[in-house]
Amino acid sequence: MTSLEDKIREIEEEISTTEYNKATQHHIGKLKAKLAKLKEDFLKRSSKGGSGFGFAVKKTGHATVVIIGFPSVGKSTLLNKLTNAQSAVGSYDFTTLDVIPGLMEYKNVRLQLLDVPGIIGGASSGKGRGREVLAVARNADVVLILADTTKKGQFRQIVEELEGAGVRLNKHPPRVSIRRTLGGGVHLLPTVPLTKIDVETARSIANTFGVHNAEISVHEDITMDELVDAFNGNRVYTPAVFALNKVDTVDKAKVKEFTEDVKECILISAEKDVNLDKLREEIFAKLGFIRVFLKPQGGRVDAHEPLILKTGSTVRDICGKLHKDFLHGFRYAVIWGASAKHKGQRIGLTHTLSDGDVVSIIKK
């Protein structure tokens, strides 16, 4: 009997050897949908039983950042430099055999960094402790992908393994809504011109997921992979930071060869403390946090413990974080900072906040 892994390999090989053109587009779409379903089944089966799928890690701080990389790229050294952790460091592979947490404080934000075992090729198919490592990545707020200057193509390989585990890096969920109907077949209802997928391909993908009657509303120019993701549903969309370690060991002219797989990459040396502040700033930026400082009525600003909120938060979110009484008894707020039209502006619950704002809540 053909195993699930064999079926996955067969479909991957067929996709890679099938020439993509208009005549084969819907067939490839159907294959990708089948592949997504098989991989989902494989992950579900792998998570059952006593193999210990995933690591037990208690979350602390305002957000969690997982450091993903191949063995011996310097993850442990980087963790020790960025946090108060003491992760084992060695010049041989697989030094880290479990998850080592550390706490990094930056701009009043406490970030939990996780050093996990190095992954290897085929991690998303269960090689090494790949599924456990990738499960941690699925639950992180930011993925820090660390490569080094010993081998080209590390970034691409790691992204492929994460993709195989349903992790989409630096992407947003496709703007697609699927409404099942009682009959009439599958209808594609785009609100923008579609250049990467046609009706037949959409129908093939829908049918593969067991959907034979539906209205698919599409609000952006999606690819067939994105439509597969919309039907699959079990995808996580996570910000990612790419860092190339040990840049002090190679000629600057060769660095480009190691970063050709990614658009933006921070060049660091964990051992020599090169560009670590830039790395901290990039992690902070990816989280999309803002800091809001509170000023009690008639009192002084609390400059040491700001509220940590997401970009786009409003005064209502402040009240919700403090206590329900602040919302029920709210009269108005007074604000100083980038979002204020003038110092000490009176604002309401719907006012959108900026990083560094100072806010005083006035209750009835």
Q: Any idea what the CATH number is for the domain that residue 306 is in?
A: 3.10.20.30
Q: Looking at the structure, tell me whether residues 156 and 294 fall in a common domain.
A: no
C-alpha 92/C-alpha 264 separation (Å) is: 29
Final residue of a structural domain among 287, 319, 352: 287
**What phi, psi does 100 have (nearest 5°)?**
-110, 115
CATH number at residue 72: 3.40.50.300
C-alpha distance from residue 97 to each of 137, 165, 239 (Å)? 16, 20, 25
C-alpha 139/C-alpha 294 separation (Å) is: 30
Q: Tell me, what's the pLDDT at 121?
A: 58
- Provide the whole-model pTM: 0.83
Residue 97 within any structural domain of the chain: yes
Mean pLDDT of the chain: 86
Place of tokens 């391909």: 201
Residue 53 within any structural domain of the chain: no
Q: Looking at the structure, tell me whether residues 15 and 143 fall in a common domain.
A: no
Q: Tell me, what's the pLDDT at 49?
A: 42
Q: Looking at the structure, tell me whether residues 309 and 265 fall in a common domain.
A: no
C-alpha 110/C-alpha 62 separation (Å) is: 6
Of 19-33, 180-194, 323-337, 340-354, the one with minimum mean pLDDT is 19-33
Amino acid sitting at position 284: F
Task: Report whether pLDDT(228) > 60.
Answer: yes
Of 43-47, 344-348, 357-361, the one with minimum mean pLDDT is 43-47
Q: Looking at the structure, tell me whether residues 164 and 212 fall in a common domain.
A: no
C-alpha 298/C-alpha 85 separation (Å) is: 41
Q: Looking at the structure, tell me whether residues 139 and 276 fall in a common domain.
A: yes
Name the H helices within the chain. 4-17, 25-46, 75-82, 130-138, 154-164, 199-208, 224-232, 252-258, 276-287, 315-322, 324-328
Q: Tell me, what's the pLDDT at 122?
A: 56
Final residue of a structural domain among 232, 255, 271: 232
Task: Report whether pLDDT(150) > 80.
Answer: yes
Q: Which domain holds residue 305?
A: 289-363
**What is the pLDDT averaged over residues 31-52?**
66
The band of 56, judged by pLDDT with boundaries at 50, 70 and 90, is low
For every residue of 199-244, DSSP letters joined together read HHHHHHHHHHTT--SEEEEE-S---HHHHHHHHH---EEE-EEEEE
Residue 159 within any structural domain of the chain: yes
Q: Tell me, what's the pLDDT at 26?
A: 77
For residue range 171-224, list pLDDT tens digits in order: 999 999 999 999 999 999 999 999 999 999 999 999 999 999 999 999 999 999
The band of 129, judged by pLDDT with boundaries at 50, 70 and 90, is low
Q: Looking at the structure, tell me whether residues 128 and 270 fall in a common domain.
A: yes
Q: Tell me, what's the pLDDT at 53?
A: 42
Asked whether 275 and 261 are in contact (CB, 8 A), the reply is: no
